[in-house]
Amino acid sequence: MLAEKLLLHVLIFLAPVLIYGVLFEKRHNDRQLSYIYGILHGIAACLCMVFAYYSYGLYWDFRYVPLVLACLYGGPIAGMIVFIVILVTRTVLGGDALIFGYISGTAAAIVPFLFSRKFMQYKPKKRVRMALIVGAWPAIVMFCILLSYLFTVGFSTNQEILVNIILFGAIQIIGIGFAALLYEMVIERKLMKAEIQRSEKLNTLGELAASIAHEVRNPLTVVKGFLQLMKTENKGENMQYIPLVLSELGRAEAIINDYLNFAKPEFKKIEECQLSDVVYEVLFLMEPLALKQGVQLDIDLDTRCAIKTDRNQLKQAIVNFVKNAIEATNDGGTVSIKLTAHSTYAKLTVRDTGKGMNKEQLDRIGTLFYTTKDKGTGLGTTVSLRIIQSMDGKVTYESSPNVGTLVTVFLPIINPAENVPVSVK
User: 41 and 70 in contact (C-beta within 8 Å)?
Assistant: yes
> β-pairing, 334-341 with 296-301?
parallel
Q: What is the pLDDT of residues 18-72, one digit of tens each?
A: 888 777 766 556 677 888 888 999 999 999 888 888 776 667 788 888 999 999 9
Residue 152 confidence class, pLDDT cut points 50, 70, 90: low
> Out of 26-40, 104-118, 273-287, 387-401, which region has the weakest mean confidence (pLDDT)?
26-40
Residue 85 confidence class, pLDDT cut points 50, 70, 90: very high
Q: Which CATH architecture has domain 2-197?
A: Orthogonal Bundle (1.10)
Pairwise CA distance, residues 156 & 59, whole Å: 21
CA 337 to chain centroid:
23
CATH superfamily for 270-424 is: Histidine kinase-like ATPase, C-terminal domain (3.30.565.10)
In this prediction, residue 267 carries a pLDDT of 62
Instruction: Give the closest residue to 302 by CA, choosing from 417, 391, 425, 184.
Output: 417
Same fold, 2-197 and 270-424: no
In this prediction, residue 233 carries a pLDDT of 62
Residue 413 confidence class, pLDDT cut points 50, 70, 90: confident
Instruction: Give the closest residue to 281 by CA, choosing from 309, 316, 308.
Output: 316
423 phi and psi, to 5 degrees?
-135, 125
The size of the chain, in residues, is 425
- Domain ranges for the chain: 2-197, 207-263, 270-424
309 phi and psi, to 5 degrees?
-165, -175
Alpha carbons within 13 A on the beta-carbon side of 81: 22
Q: What is the pLDDT of residues 325-359, one digit of tens each?
A: 898 888 888 999 999 988 888 999 999 988 888 87
User: 303 and 266 in contact (C-beta within 8 Å)?
Assistant: no
Q: 413 exposed, middle or buried (CB, 10 Å; 0-12, 13-18, 19+)?
A: buried
Instruction: Give the closest residue to 299 by CA, choosing from 313, 312, 314, 287.
Output: 287
User: 271 and 311 in contact (C-beta within 8 Å)?
Assistant: yes
48 phi and psi, to 5 degrees?
-60, -40
Segment (H or E) for 298: strand 296-301
User: Would you give the DSSP letter of residue 295?
Assistant: -
Strand residues in 34-163 grouped as ranges (E): 53-55, 58-60
Segment (H or E) for 424: strand 422-424
In this prediction, residue 420 carries a pLDDT of 39
> β-pairing, 306-310 with 270-274?
antiparallel
Q: Quick check: 421 pLDDT over 50?
A: no
Q: Quick check: 262 pLDDT over 70?
A: no
- Integer angstrom CA distances of residue 165 from 70, 139, 176, 299: 24, 9, 17, 60
Sign (positive/negative) of CA torsion 142, 144, 145, 150? positive
CA 305 to chain centroid:
26
- Integer angstrom CA distances of residue 176 from 16, 42, 65, 70, 112: 13, 16, 7, 11, 13
Segment (H or E) for 41: helix 30-50
Pairwise CA distance, residues 381 & 370, whole Å: 9
Q: What is the mean pLDDT of the chain?
A: 79
Which residue has better confidence, 367 or 180?
180
Residue 211 confidence class, pLDDT cut points 50, 70, 90: low
In this prediction, residue 235 carries a pLDDT of 60
Q: Quick check: 2 pLDDT over 90?
A: no
In this prediction, residue 187 carries a pLDDT of 86
Pairwise CA distance, residues 353 & 156, whole Å: 68
Q: Give the N- to C-terminal CA distance of the chain in Å, as an integer.
A: 72
In this prediction, residue 80 carries a pLDDT of 92
Percent of the chain with pLDDT over 70: 72
In this prediction, residue 310 carries a pLDDT of 82
Q: What is the CB neighbour count within 10 angstroms for residue 339?
A: 25
> Which amino acid is located at 81 in the chain?
I
Compute, in degrees rounded to 10, the torsion defined by CA atoms 141, 170, 180, 37: -50
Q: Quick check: 162 pLDDT over 50?
A: yes
> Which amino acid is located at 52 in the chain?
A
Q: Quick check: 84 pLDDT over 90?
A: yes
Q: Quick check: 419 pLDDT over 60?
A: no
Q: What is the CB neighbour count within 10 angstroms for residue 105?
A: 19
Pairwise CA distance, residues 109 & 60, whole Å: 18
Pairwise CA distance, residues 380 & 168, whole Å: 58
**Helices (H) and strands (E) in the chain — how many of each?**
12, 10
Residue 425 confidence class, pLDDT cut points 50, 70, 90: very low
Q: What is the pLDDT of residues 87-110, one digit of tens each?
A: 999 888 876 667 777 888 888 889
Which residue has better confidence, 61 or 157?
61
Percent of the chain with pLDDT over 90: 9
Q: What is the DSSP string of 325-363?
A: HHHHSPTT-EEEEEEEE-SSEEEEEEEE-S----HHHHH
DSSP, collapsed to helix, strand or coil, labels residue 410 as: strand
Pairwise CA distance, residues 298 & 227, whole Å: 44
